[in-house]
Amino acid sequence: MNLAIFFVIYNISTDSENVSVDDLKGLHSRSPLLAFTLAVGAFGLAGIPPTAGFAGKLFVLTSAFKSQHMWLVIIGAANTAISIYYYLKMVRAAYAPDEAAEAGPKVDVSLLGKALGVAFILAILVVGSLPGYFMDLFKHAL
């Protein structure tokens, strides 16, 4: 999920400059694939289903709850709620209508870059949709 977002930032950065939230404005029209990759990565980091981040947070918080570490569950849930605001701020910037930003230059992504973006999207969604399969696979590997 972090790689997906850094992939987007790398592709929209010009001359190795830092990227701000304002640079994401109008991304959905300048590069739909990058905007969707950013959205899936941010949703995953925020823990929104059906992403790998949701499955991970669910497993961790459920385990803490079963172990009766309620303080950890409360801190985890509070941090998740706070993080949703910040992660979705990027998505809102990428998809909010902004005529000036949408008229800006298109973001060119190579064919290999497009394939990598799709791979990130699929990995985040598949692991989130089938977490039991991957947990069994990892348990078997151990």
**Residue-wise burial string across 87-103, b where 16 or more C-beta atoms lie within 10 A, e elsewhere:** bbebbebbbeebeebee
**43-53 tens-digit pLDDT:** 999 999 999 99
Question: pLDDT by residue (tens digit) across 74-101?
Answer: 999 999 999 999 999 999 999 998 888 7
Residue whose C-alpha is closest to residue 3's, from 31, 37, 43: 37
Q: How far apart are CA 138 and CA 116, in angstroms?
A: 24
Amino acid letter for position 49: P
Lowest average pLDDT, out of 15-19, 38-42, 48-52, goes to: 15-19
Is the distance from CB of 29 to CB of 93 less than 8 angstroms? no
Of all helices (H) and strands (E), which one includes residue 137? helix 131-141
Angle at 124 (CA atoms; ends 123, 125), nearest 5 degrees: 95
Please state, for a pLDDT cut of 70, what percent of the chain lies above it.
100
pLDDT at residue 64, as a whole number: 96
The pTM of this model reads 0.90
